[in-house]
Amino acid sequence: MNAENVKSQMRKGALEYCILLLLKKEPAYTSDIIQKLQEAKLIVVEGTLYPLLTRLKNSELLAYQWVESTQGPPRKYYQLTEKGEDFLKELEISWQELNETIAHIKQVNP
Amino acid sequence: MKKTLTVNLGGSVFNIDEDAYELLDKYLTNLRIHFRKEEGSDEIMNDFESRISELLGERKRLGYEVINIGHVEDVIKRMGSPEEIFEEGNPHAEKDIPLEEEGDETGKKKKKRLMRDSEDRILGGVASGIAAYLNIDPTAVRLALILLLFIPYIPVVIPYLILWLVMPLAQTATDRLIMRGKSVNLQNIGKSVTDGFEKTSAQINDYISSDKPRTTLQKFADFLVTFVGVLLKVFAIIIGIILLPVLVLVIFVLFIVIFALFAGGAGALIGTLPFIGPEINFITAVPTYLTVLGSIGAILLLGIPVIALIYLLCGKIFKLSPMPNPAKWILLGLWIVSLILCLVYAYHVGYPPHWGHIDWLPWSII
């Protein structure tokens, strides 16, 4: 059992949740999402995100439109769909439950 | 001085050094292989390309007229290697487990197969296939073949042609990995592609064979082999049709023999064997159990090749799958055991104490 391994598994598990959370408030360019996730140390390399975003889009949790940027060609501008919002609500509940469980365990076995 | 290329990446034009281009091309090819099974793989690749285009565009704005290999390395570092991307992005992938979600059974086979190498061939690729199988240099095999050609009484041409007919052609990257006995997983396919085993320009998504331009000699030889192969197949089918009634008869006789053995014991059996007349009643000279064993041995000794032959013919005609390997080994083992049984029996029958020396009996039994 390797601590790094477990930690990276935890991060991986939270990645989708975090992407949905980031887009909950406002739509964003792919590069913005990448930047925020890298700041939060949730991903190391950018390449991780493109397949993930496409997967989320294909599950109709996200949608995008092409928006002109200040420089260069138009870029994808991602936003949460209604289905995505419902999905996020579910995830938030289970995240809450997980937190409570951990807090409870900590309390019982200090 | 360096040669540069002009590429269109994600809608922008770049001048790029040749070595930098090679690296970028390999990188994108590897990614494409990684995501080829994923839904929306084209879209993912487009995302990658437009992002790389953005990153390289920044360099252009900084005043670099030509993208060099350092820039590409930086970009790849930033985007991540295919392994990193897969490792980080797939929450369900366990570490250190090779990716074998290929679905086809070749994914798990590490076994080597004798195949002809389509990428490294002078005539049929037999020599390079043998070399890959034995893990030696193909040139050594070719030299040995040519040397053998000059030694009289060694008909090297015939086995070569037979091997050419029998050995399948390794056409795809997957085939070539199997040929070399390497496990078929994404890393290896990627490696094999980046090593130049396969032309990357071909449609990577479905691994269609990369048809190298072939020489006229190869084309002619290919045609000849295909032609001979078709002839042989037709011949085999005709033989099969002719032989089928005979084989059915043989099986019928075998059934009768087996039935006789169980019903009437060994004595009845001796009467049914065509080459031993009932007048030679040597049965008394040999213990009964030995006679029974010997008879079973004889039936198996004749029956197994017959059944194998029938199976082979039926397989050729009706396109059945070949017999599984364990079955082959069991049959071979049974056949050897039956041979030994027969020899033991023949020895006892052939040299009963009061008969003295009889030469022909053992052979007539077998």
Sequence-distant (6+) residues with CB within 8 A of A33 are A19, A22, A23, A49, A53, A78
Does residue B96 sit within a domain? no
Predicted confidence (pLDDT) per residue in A46-88, tens digit:
888 898 899 999 999 999 998 887 766 788 899 999 999 999 9
Q: Is A47 close to B50, i.e. CB distance below 8 A? A: no
- The 10 Å CB-count burial string (b at 16+, else e) for B207-220 is bebbeeeeeeebee
The closest of A32, A12, A13 to A22, measured between CA atoms, is A32
Please tell me whether residues B68 and B171 are part of one structural domain: no
Residuewise pLDDT in 10s, chain B (366 residues): 888 999 998 888 999 998 899 889 888 988 888 787 788 888 889 999 988 998 898 888 888 889 998 999 999 988 888 777 877 655 444 443 344 333 344 444 456 778 888 777 777 788 888 888 888 888 888 888 888 887 777 677 777 878 887 788 877 667 777 777 776 655 565 555 555 444 443 333 333 344 455 667 777 777 887 888 888 878 877 877 777 777 778 777 777 776 666 555 555 455 555 555 444 444 445 566 776 777 777 777 777 877 777 777 777 666 666 677 778 888 888 888 888 887 777 777 655 555 444 454 444 444
Q: Is B85 close to A16, i.e. CB distance below 8 A? A: no
The domain in which residue B317 lies consists of 220-365
CA atoms within 13 A on the CB side of A40: 16
Best residue of A8, A35, A48 to probe chain B, by most B CBs closer than 10 Å: A48
Query: Would you tell me how many other CB atoms lie within 10 Å of the CB of residue B324?
Result: 9
Q: Which helix (H) or strand (E) holds B67?
A: strand B66-67
Q: Are strands B66-67 and A75-80 parallel, antiparallel or unpaired?
A: unpaired
CA distance B138 to B143: 9
- Residues in chain A, how many? 110
CATH of A18-108, one of 2.30.110.10, 3.40.50.2020, 2.60.40.10, 1.10.10.10: 1.10.10.10
**Are B50 and A75 contacting, i.e. CB atoms less than 8 angstroms apart?**
yes
Does residue B97 sit within a domain? no
What sections of chain B are H helices per DSSP?
A: 18-34, 41-61, 69-79, 82-89, 126-134, 138-150, 157-166, 173-180, 186-194, 216-272, 288-318, 325-350, 361-365
- Angstrom CA distances, A80 to A9, A53, A55, A63, B98, stand at 25, 11, 13, 6, 34
Across the interface, of A45, A53, A72, the residue whose CB is closest to B54 is A72
Q: Is A54 close to B40, i.e. CB distance below 8 A? A: yes
**Are B44 and A50 contacting, i.e. CB atoms less than 8 angstroms apart?**
yes
Q: What is the DSSP letter of A102?
A: H
Predicted confidence (pLDDT) per residue in B152-182, tens digit:
776 777 778 788 877 888 776 677 777 777 7
Predicted confidence (pLDDT) per residue in A5-56, tens digit:
888 888 888 888 999 999 998 999 888 898 898 888 888 788 888 988 999 9
CA distance B45 to B37: 12
Instruction: Copy the structure tokens of residue B266.
Output: 């060994």
Query: Would you tell me how many other CB atoms lie within 10 Å of the CB of residue A84?
Result: 22
Please tell me whether residues B245 and B348 are part of one structural domain: yes
**Of chain B residues 48-67, which have a CB less than 8 A from chain A?**
48, 50-51, 53-54, 57
Please tell me whether residues B205 and B289 are part of one structural domain: no
CA distance A43 to A27: 20
- How many separate domains does chain B show? 3
Please tell me whether residues B341 and B225 are part of one structural domain: yes
**Are A12 and B88 contacting, i.e. CB atoms less than 8 angstroms apart?**
yes
ipTM: 0.86
Does residue B152 sit within a domain? yes
Does residue B268 sit within a domain? yes
Chain A residues close to B31, C-beta within 8 Å: 47
Best residue of B51, B73, B92, B97 to probe chain A, by most A CBs closer than 10 Å: B51
**Are B31 and B45 contacting, i.e. CB atoms less than 8 angstroms apart?**
yes
Please tell me whether residues B130 and B259 are part of one structural domain: no
Query: What is the CA B81 to chain-centroid distance, rounded?
Result: 32
Please tell me whether residues B260 and B338 are part of one structural domain: yes
CA atoms within 13 A on the CB side of B338: 19
The dihedral formed by the CA atoms of B117, B118, B120 and B123, expressed in degrees to the nearest 10:
100
Position B354, amino acid = H
Q: Is B54 close to A31, i.e. CB distance below 8 A? A: yes
Which of B180, B213, B246 terminates a domain? The answer is B213
Does residue B338 sit within a domain? yes
Please tell me whether residues B299 and B343 are part of one structural domain: yes
Kindly report whether the global pTM for this prediction surpasses the value 0.80: no
pLDDT number for residue A63: 92
Q: Is B10 on the interface with A (CB under 8 A)?
A: yes
The closest of A6, A93, A26 to A36, measured between CA atoms, is A26
Please tell me whether residues B52 and B168 are part of one structural domain: no
Q: Which helix (H) or strand (E) holds B16?
A: strand B12-17
